[in-house]
Amino acid sequence: MYLDKICFTCYYGLHTKRMIVERRIGVARNKYPEETVKLILDVSTKMFCEKGYDNTSLQDIINETKLSKGAIYHHFDSKEDILKAIFQRIGNENAVIFAKIRDNDSLNGLEKLREIFKTAVFNSNQSVLLTVSPQLLNNPRFLAMQIEQMYEIVVPEFVEPVLEQGIKDKSLEIENSHEIAEVIMVLSNVWLNPLVEMTDKEGMEKRCNTFNALLNGIGIDTLLDEETISAFIQFCK
**pLDDT tens readout for residues 45-57:** 888 888 888 889 9
Tally of domains in the chain: 2
For helices 177-186 and 160-169, give the axis angle rounded to 10 degrees. Answer: 130
* Claim to verify: residue 138 and residue 166 sit in the same structural domain: yes
The crossing angle, in degrees rounded to 10, of helices 33-51 and 58-65 is 120
CA distances from 140 to 10, 27, 89, 145 (A): 46, 32, 20, 8
64 close to 79: Cβ distance less than 8 angstroms? no
The answer to whether 61 and 79 are in contact (CB under 8 A) is yes
Percent of the chain with pLDDT over 90: 53
The helix/strand count (H/E) of the chain reads as: 12, 0
Domain boundary among 53, 77, 101: 77
Q: Are residues 119 and 200 in the same domain?
A: yes
The answer to whether 100 touches 64, Cβ cutoff 8 Å, is no
Q: Are 17 and 97 found together in one domain? A: no
187 and 131 both lie in a single domain: yes
Cα dist from 31 to 16, 34, 43, whole Å: 20, 9, 20
> Could you say which of 33, 56, 77 is where a domain stops?
77
Q: What is the pLDDT along the chain (237 residues), one digit of tens a residue?
A: 444 433 433 433 444 444 344 434 444 445 568 899 999 999 998 888 888 888 899 999 999 999 999 999 999 999 989 988 988 888 888 899 999 999 999 999 999 999 999 988 887 666 666 666 666 566 677 778 778 888 999 999 999 999 999 999 999 999 999 999 999 999 998 888 887 777 899 999 999 999 999 999 999 999 999 999 998 888 776
Q: What is the spatial distance between Cα 194 and Cα 136, in angstroms, rounded to a whole number?
A: 9
- Residue after which a domain boundary falls, among 77, 97, 122: 77
The answer to whether residues 219 and 157 belong to one domain is yes
> Distance between alpha carbon 221 and the CA centroid of its chain, in Å?
28
pLDDT in tens, 20-45: 444 344 444 455 688 999 999 999 98
Let me know whether 131 and 68 are in one domain: no
Are 53 and 89 part of one and the same domain? Answer: no
pTM for the predicted model, two decimal places: 0.76
* Residue 33, domain extent: 1-77
| Closest CA relative to residue 186, chosen from 232, 101, 178 | 178
Separation CA 102–CA 104 (nearest Å): 6
The CA distance from 47 to 56, in Å, is: 7
Its sign, for the CA torsion 101, 102, 104, 105, is positive
Q: What is the CATH number of the domain that holds 26?
A: 1.10.10
